[in-house]
Amino acid sequence: MSITKEQVIEQLKNVYDPEIPVNVVDLGMIYDVRIGEKDIKIDMALTAPGCPLAMMIAGAVENSVKQIAESYNVKVNIVTDPPWTPDRLSEKAREILGIKSE
């Protein structure tokens, strides 16, 4: 079974940052999803450098994708460049967090 980037992104909307009531996609934490023959590589950032929950969030991302891509090797890379900023928030996230769009 092949899987698409769109399917992975949609699945990742089920993963929430434990400190913020918004999913990792709408928070803009997912930078890239690359799908190969047998692997899926996800680049993601954290909303705060040195976040003590980094491994927990990365594990939740990996486990979520494995639910729809059991035969794939899923690898989550936490990236710091470019750093995450609130500019990456989706309109939905801004609404939930009460942040006005500019």
Indicate the SS3 state at residue 9.
helix
Is the pLDDT at 19 greater than 90, yes or no? no
Neighbours of 32 (CB within 10 A): 11
Residue 30 CA neighbour count, 13 Å, CB half: 28
d(CA 84, CA 5): 21
> CB–CB of 12/23 below 8 Å?
yes
- Per-residue pLDDT, averaged over 38-51, amounts to 94
pLDDT for 50 equals 86
- Per-residue pLDDT, averaged over 15-43, amounts to 96
Mean pLDDT of the chain: 94
d(CA 85, CA 59): 22
CATH 3.30.300.130: does it fit domain 5-84? yes
